[in-house]
Chains A and B, each alone.
Chain A
Amino acid sequence: MTSTPAPSVAPAEAEIDALIAAQLHLEGPLLPIFHALQEAYCHVPQAALSRIAEALNLTRAEVHGVMSFYHDFRSAPAGRHVLKICRAEACQSMGGAALADRLLAKLGLDWHGTTPDGKVTVEPVYCLGLCACAPAAMVDNKVRGRLDDAACDALIAEVRA
């Protein structure tokens, strides 16, 4: 979902309107609209907020309020790859916290950071449901379990390639 580079030109209003319109038949269409926009543009373009507001008869502030509530929705594109590392308890019990610290250090990043070349963004995630094969992570939408330093190095090489 996030592995394609963001388009360099601003998305056309007509295209945004079409993506919004496609969800309007749903009951409670706002989250599906955000998901559709983020899938198309790797983020929710700010220009879309007023279009959504108009379509749903909400204020732009309300639309922004909903979008900013959820960790998933981005107002700017992430790196080409998004590496989500689980910080939750089960992964911690298997040394996940120290492993994550070493991985961040190798990338020279803090949580939510993106490498200067724009290739990878690292984010925390609280449980991937891979608690019996911890520590776990997810690269874009691909899950990884039983991580150790060697596996993390391979992951880094993969996202930097």
Chain B
Amino acid sequence: MKIYVPGDSAAKAVGADEVAAAVAREAAARGLNVEVIRNGTRGMIWLEPLLEVERAEGRSGFGPVTAADVPALFDAGFGAHSKALGPVEEIPFFARQTRLTFARCGLTDPLSMAEYEAHGGLAGLRRALDMTGEAIVDEVKESGLRGRGGAGFPTGIKWDTVRLAHADQKYIVCNADEGDSGTFADRMILEGDPFCLFEGMVIAGLGVGATKGYIYLRSEYPDAVEMTRRALDVAYRAGLLGDVLGSGRRFDLELRVGAGAYVCGEETSLLNSLEGKRGVVRAKPPLPALEGFMGRPTVVNNLISLATVPVIFARGGAFYRDFGLGRSRGTIPVQIAGNVKYGGLFETAFGMSLGELVEDVAGGTASGRPVKAVQVGGPLGAYMPVSKFATPFGYEEFDGQGGLIGHAGLVVFDDTADMLGMARFAMEFCAVESCGKCTPCRIGAVRGVETLDRIAGGDAAAVDLLEDLCETMKDGSLCALGGLTPMPVMSALTGFPDDFARSKKAAE
């Protein structure tokens, strides 16, 4: 009998290791032959630890399971039990998704190359190996894939710039510095389907003529670091890396761990950090595509962009492009987090409305109170009030509403949230994490905290000052940290003015 207990850190954080140990212990005590597989997570985090049992008709789920539940689950023969969920893939949250990038995540043993291949892995790479660099880049262009880190730049055009650059060495850099609150898609891939990322990076290398890649992964993800290290070993032994599938073409991949600087998620800071420098933002131009890592042409892509490449090559750029809305093509892994009933990762074609995601897919708040605001796209994203719930999920659509989709994280707040407090936090965070290069960011964020404290103290005149400060930060900062911190601040101010209208009396 095969039993799956996720090894994903969200599952581990709520007791999956203890459940896995209890399963092994109970099986041994009963003399049963049970194979425990530590899969990634399916992304239904509210059900974690989600235990799955393989049956002839498919996989049945139980969750959230505690170690104490395990003996009873064995007694019931993994049949009728209060935690029984039925076939996992028929759970509505899962059944409604279009899983392309995350097709294998949670399904397979993340370290088994045989399972990876059995579930569609390597098919894209095999196809790419027979294509020219130009044809590879054209396929990505056709897919309509845009940067999933938030900027939304067309991936194929970035690749083409690197492809056409002349250099003795080019690089592929994966940005896995997933620092935005409310996002965990990169972590889920690294812990649940790491070969998918590696395959995407190899294809990128073939496309642009790069033979070396780096994964820059944040240190706040120790489980992902460990899993990536192990997966790299397996991938080299299996021939995915090194001499790529025995083709005589080479691609080497190395993991680098960050050191707790949020700004290193910005591509030029990341490159400086990778080179062993302070993670200070670089002015553009020159573009990293022409002068990136070590001054050489470099593709810097978000992890999800790269992990989406294999499915594009396995099923064709046109297949991928046919999902989506407007200029946002394909699917987006929406990460639903914070105060929600059903939190987790929901991969769907672009176009679903924010309201449907929050009220329907996520089932509203965990607290049962009304939703007040949803911060979309991490700490630099706007707080969207309920009045903007009709906004469809897409790059241009959110931009038109004064927001951004960023890395597609949603953080839901109920009506107890204090939006002035959240605006203050945005400034405080910017002050802590500013790289220091641009004065409006370095100093402005500190002044922003002070100004918000004045508003909280009943000084209504400070509101104008805050607006002015936000304008200066927005216009006078090189990167998104200083440039977009005003977005959560201003969206809180304009969307929830009552929270800022504190009379002196109330403050006292």
Contacts and interface: CB of A to CB of B under 8 A. Distances in A.
Given A129-B187, A132-B46, A90 B337 contact: yes
Contact of B261 (A69, A84, A145, A146): A69
A40 to B, nearest CB: 15
B488 to A, nearest CB: 9
B288 interface: no
A88 interface: yes
B440 to A, nearest CB: 20
Interface string A14-32: 0000000000001111111
Q: Interface residue tally of chain B, by bracket?
A: 35 or more
Contacts of A56: 276
Interface stretch (A102-110, A120-128, A153-161): A120-128
Interface string B282-322: 00000000000110000000000000000000000000000
B153 to A, nearest CB: 24
A91 B183 CA distance: 12
Contacts of B62: none
B412 interface: yes
Nearest to A124: B432
Contact of B178 (A129, A138, A141): A129
A34 B259 contact: yes
Contact of B294 (A28, A32, A73, A130): A28
Given A30-B276, A88-B379, A131-B181, A144 B13 contact: yes
Contact of B223 (A127, A136, A143, A146): A143
A155 to B, nearest CB: 12
Given A129-B220, A131-B335, A31 B411 contact: no
A30 B258 CA distance: 11
B179 interface: yes
Contacts of A115: none
Given A72-B219, A89-B411, A131-B343, A94 B338 contact: yes
Nearest to B435: A69
Contacts of B294: 27-28
Interface string A37-55: 0000000000000000000
Interface string A77-117: 00000001000111111100000000000000000000000
Given A28-B276, A126-B429, A130-B184, A94 B259 contact: no
A131 B274 contact: no
Given A27-B294, A88-B181, A143-B12, A133 B379 contact: no
B257 A131 contact: no
B211 interface: no
Given A66-B278, A143-B12, A128 B182 contact: no
Nearest to B185: A129
Contacts of B10: 129-130, 132-133, 143, 145
B103 interface: no
A143 B411 contact: no
Given A90-B411, A93-B411, A126 B261 contact: no
B256 interface: yes
A119 interface: no
Interface centre among B13, B275, B413 (most CB of A within 10 A): B13
B118 interface: no
B278 A69 contact: yes
Contact of A131 (B12, B275, B411): B411
Contacts of B254: 26
Interface string B393-433: 00000000000000001011110010000100100010011
A132 B219 contact: no
25 contacts: A1-B222, A27-B293, A28-B274, A30-B276, A31-B274, A35-B259, A65-B278, A66-B278, A69-B280, A70-B258, A72-B219, A90-B182, A90-B337, A91-B181, A93-B417, A129-B186, A132-B10, A133-B10, A133-B13, A133-B14, A133-B46, A133-B343, A141-B223, A143-B13, A145-B13
Interface of B: 9-10, 12-14, 45-46, 48, 178-184, 186-187, 219-224, 254, 256-262, 273-280, 293-294, 335-340, 343-345, 366, 375, 379, 409, 411-414, 417, 422, 425, 429, 432-433, 435
